[in-house]
Amino acid sequence: MNIKFILLTEPTPKLVNTFNRWGNDVNLKALSQPNRSKAELERETFLTIEDVRHRLEYQHVYLKYLDNRLIGEMSFTVDPGHLINKNSETAWISIVIGEPACRGKGIGVIALEYLEEQVRKYGLKRMELGVFEFNKPALKLYQKLGYQEMGRIEEFTYYEGNMWADIRMEKCF
């Protein structure tokens, strides 16, 4: 498996189109962002190049490639306001494998280990993330790599007719 990661510095129209395709895939959207209702989950939204440029002002975004094909993205944000544990020097992390055929192949482990390395190089001491309670594969991945549950936000996101909790997890270095 030939996987590489590239820090995003300048978005292109092609990249924004890919982000929009992933962001409007209902199956992926259910896993990667909170939705208060079925209508919100199914509503299409579209980013612009300026939206992505703005994101790069506060987020470190890495593109994931498998055999030179873009398959996902991951990021970390330093000390955002939505952390449960407000300790400074904390990275909020996010990992998305946008291409469905690439999920469940072990890429998440490699990507998360790489992201942890980048966070450590940045000098941060802790990582926090949220994973929806119905996303059992992601929960298993985070537990396998040493993340510990530190809290829950109940009734956080809609999925398949129910509201589910956001499980907050952390890992300290």
- Residue 140 has what pLDDT? 94
Give the pLDDT confidence of 137-155 residue by residue, as tens digits: 999 999 999 999 999 999 9
What CATH number is associated with residue 122?
3.40.630.30
CA distance 142 to 42: 27
Residue 1 has pLDDT above 80, yes or no: no
Domain of residue 80, residue span: 3-172
Query: How many structural domains does the chain have?
Result: 1
Give the pLDDT confidence of 21-35 residue by residue, as tens digits: 999 999 999 999 999
Average pLDDT, the chain: 96
The answer to whether the CB of 92 falls within 8 A of the CB of 56 is no
- Residue 87 has what pLDDT? 84
Which is more confidently placed, 48 or 173? Answer: 48
